[in-house]
Structure 1
Amino acid sequence: MIVIAAEQVHQCNPDDGSWLYQMIHMDQNWAASLATTDGVAALFSGVTVLRRPDLHHRATAWSELIFSGATAHRIESRFRELVDELGAATPEHLVTGDSDPALSGRLAPVLRRLREDETNPRLDELAETISISKYQLIRAVKQATGLAPLAWRQNARIQKARQLLRDGHAIADTAHELGFTDQSHFHRVFRAHVATSPGAYRA
Structure 2
Amino acid sequence: MTTSQEQRHIFYDSCLGIEAYQLSGIVQKFPNHFHECYVIGFIEGGCRHLWCRGSEYDLSRGDLILFNPKDNHFCSPMNGELLDYRALNIPVPVMKKAAADITGKEFVPQFTVNVVYHSDITTSLADVYNAIVTDASPFEKEEAFFFLLEQILKEHSTPYEEHNGVFLDSAIADTCEYLKEHYSENITLEELTEQIHLSKSWLLHTFTKQTGVSPYRYLQSIRLEEAKKLLEQAVPPIDAAARAGFTDQSHFTRFFKDFTGLTPKQYQKIFTESGRDTTADTEE
TM range (shorter): 0.7 to 0.9
TM-score, with length taken from structure 2:
0.60
Residue identity matched to 1:79: F
DSSP-derived class of the 1:70 partner: coil
DSSP-derived class of the 2:115 partner: strand
The structure that is strand-richer by fraction is: 2
Q: Is the 8 A contact 1:190 1:198 kept in 2?
A: yes
Q: Is the 8 A contact 1:2 1:47 kept in 2?
A: yes
- In structure 2, C-alpha distance between the alignment counterparts of 1:137 and 1:176, rounded to whole Å: 27
Shift of 1:72: 3.3
Q: Is 1:150 matched up with 2:216?
A: yes
Gapped regions of structure 2 (runs ≥ 5)? 1-63, 158-162, 270-284
Q: Is 1:57 matched up with 2:123?
A: yes
**Aligned pair partner of 1:169 in 235, 256, 277:** 235
Please give the per-residue CA displacement for 1:108-152, whole angstroms capped at 9, x wherever unaligned.
432233232433322132112112111111122212321111111
Q: Is the 8 A contact 2:68 2:110 kept in 1?
A: no
Provide the residue aligned with 1:8 in structure 2: 71
DSSP-derived class of the 2:114 partner: strand
Shift of 1:23: 2.1
DSSP-derived class of the 1:58 partner: helix
Gapped regions of structure 1 (runs ≥ 5)? none
The structure that is helix-richer by fraction is: 1
Shift of 1:56: 1.4
Q: Is 1:179 matched up with 2:245?
A: yes
User: How many residues matched?
Assistant: 194
Q: Is the 8 A contact 2:113 2:156 kept in 1?
A: no
Query: Considering only aligned residues, what root-mean-square deviation do their CA atoms show, in Å?
Result: 2.6
Shift of 1:60: 0.5
**Identical-pair percentage:** 25
Residues 14-53 of structure 1 mapped to structure 2, 5 A cutoff: 14-17=77-80, 18-35=82-99, 36-37=102-103, 41-43=109-111, 45=112, 47-52=114-119
Q: Is 1:112 matched up with 2:177?
A: yes
**Aligned pair partner of 2:166 in 91, 94, 99:** 99
